Amino acid sequence: MTHTIVQAPSHLGESSRAEFRERALSALAKLQQVPGGRLIVDLSRTERLDSAGLGTLVMLQMRAADQRCSVVLYGASEEIRFLLLMTRLEDRFIIEPNARD
């Protein structure tokens, strides 16, 4: 398996980050022996991302980098992409639009 997908909640923030983090870390563990593997975070249903959610994404990216894997943000809204740009984090991730973009 060269990639694994995890669906982000509609609001990735303080109240949802723990459960999302556990699912994402579990998915990342499946890629542990796959250098160049991709953890795909499906943000197509995510309407809000706060600082706690952003911190979780950065933590996932750092763990993935330690494993020589990458994190792909799939289907991020314009607002989320703008947030990544404003926080200068867009270069840490591979950002792929969803099919309708």
> Range of 9's domain?
3-96
| Helices 51-66 and 17-29, packing angle to 10 deg | 10
Q: How many domains does the chain have?
A: 1
Looking up residue 76, the CATH number of its domain turns out to be: 3.30.750.24
Residue 101 belongs to a domain = no
Over the range 58-97, which residues count as b (16 or more CB within 10 Å of their CB) and which as e? eebbebbeebebbbbbbbbbeebeebbeeeeebebbebee
Instruction: Give ∠ CA 36-40-46 in degrees, rounded to 5.
Output: 160
Quick check: pTM over 0.75? yes
Residue 25 belongs to a domain = yes
pLDDT tens for each residue of 39-48: 999 999 999 9
Residue 83 belongs to a domain = yes
Is the model's pLDDT at 100 over the cut of 50? no
pLDDT tens for each residue of 82-98: 999 999 999 999 999 87
